[in-house]
Amino acid sequence: DQQVKQNSPSLSVQEGRISILNCDYTNSMFDYFLWYKKYPAEGPTFLISISSIKDKNEDGRFTVFLNKSAKHLSLHIVPSQPGDSAVYFCAASAGTGTYKYIFGTGTRLKVLA
Amino acid sequence: GAVVSQHPSWVICKSGTSVKIECRSLDFQATTMFWYRQFPKQSLMLMATSNEGSKATYEQGVEKDKFLINHASLTLSTLTVTSAHPEDSSFYICSARTGTYNEQFFGPGTRLTVL
């Protein structure tokens, strides 16, 4: 049972354009969401997070949107740069307790120069 | 800040041997550490959660006698893969969380290959 899903395994975007990565979840108990960037054979690097009390969080070129009613979040990267090419994972947490994360399946982003 | 290291970064071992992987939080005290494994082109799957000084909590389907976790201090957790088999070959990643923030900080991972 995949509680966090990223339905697009890959995405190609032209440099300078917007990249939109999507993530859906099924567990209504999730109240904290994160995006991580990962290169092969490396650990994930934290990008941005959002609490369920918000619907948007912005940090530089990265913006995360949360639609609780649709159980959907998205990561916008604008403008996209070749260095953004990596695998992006969304993760969800149920907040209290152990704060364990459930990761999505990942989307490989390729930014074309 | 918030640096997590893992050692070794890669290891090759023979089937039947045991392998220990260390995870250290270098500049903060980790109240909780997590162990994940990732198969090629797949997601990160949480194996277990460990709190300093207490027994680890394993996710469903993870054999606790095979994957021994010790969290002896606030800066060190170890994962020992006992009697390793080729199907245990994977990328093992640890993460650490402080008591203040929800974010987990991840180590660089350890590539285990069992021959």
Instruction: Note the pLDDT of residue A96.
Output: 60
> What is the pLDDT at residue B48?
94
Of B46, B103, B107, which has the smallest distance from its Cβ to A100's Cβ?
Answer: B46
Contact B32 A44 (CB under 8 A): no
Query: Residue A34 has what pLDDT?
Result: 93
Task: Say which of B4, B102, B107 has its CB closest to residue A99.
Answer: B102
Q: What is the pLDDT of residue B31?
A: 83
Check residues A6 and B1 and name the one with the higher pLDDT: A6
pLDDT average, residue stretch A68-97:
92
pLDDT at position A100: 83
- Within 8 A of A30 by CB-CB distance, chain B residues are none
C-alpha R_g of chain A: 13
* pLDDT value at residue B101: 66
Query: Could you say which of B42, B97, B106 has the minimum Cβ distance to residue A44?
Result: B106
**Burial (Cβ within 10 Å: 0-12, 13-18, ≥19) of residue B79:** buried
If you search the block for the tokens 């500049």, which residue do you land on? B27
Q: Name residue A87's beta-bridge partners.
A: A38, A108
What is the least distance, in Å, from the CA of B114 to any CA of chain A?
Answer: 17
DSSP letters along B2-33, please? Answer: --EEEE-SEEEE-TT--EEEEEEESSS--SEE
Report the pLDDT averaged over residues A69-89.
Answer: 97
Under-50 pLDDT residues of chain B: none
CB atoms within 10 A of CB B21: 23
Residue B8 has what pLDDT? 96
Q: Which residues from chain B sit within 8 angstroms of residue A103, using beta carbons?
A: 36, 43-46
B82 near A CB under 8 A: no
For residue B45, the chain A residues in CB contact (below 8 A) are 103
pLDDT in tens, A11-50: 999 999 999 999 999 999 999 999 999 988 888 999 999 9
Percent residues over pLDDT 70 in chain A: 96
| Cα dihedral B105, B110, B111, B112 in deg (nearest 10) | -130
For chains A and B, count residue pairs whose Cβ atoms are closer than 8 Å.
54
Cα–Cα dist A111/A32, whole Å? 28
SS (H, E, C) chain A: CCCEECCCCEEEEECCCCEEEEEEECCCCCCEEEEEEECCCCCCEEEEEEECCCCEEEECCEEEEEECCCCEEEEEECCCCHHHCEEEEEEEECCCCCCCEEECCCEEEEEEC
Q: Which residue has the higher pLDDT, B42 or A99?
A: B42
Nearest CA in chain A to B57: A98
pLDDT at B86: 95
User: Strands, DSSP E only, in B1-115?
Assistant: 4-7, 10-13, 19-25, 32-38, 44-51, 57-58, 67-73, 76-81, 90-97, 105-106, 110-114
Q: Is the peptide bond before B8 cis (omega within 30 degrees of 0)?
A: yes
Residue from A51, A100, A105 whose CB has the most chain B CBs within 10 Å, to mutate? A100
Mean pLDDT rounded to a whole number for chain A: 92
Q: Which of B43, B107, B109 is facing A41, going by the closest CB pair?
A: B109
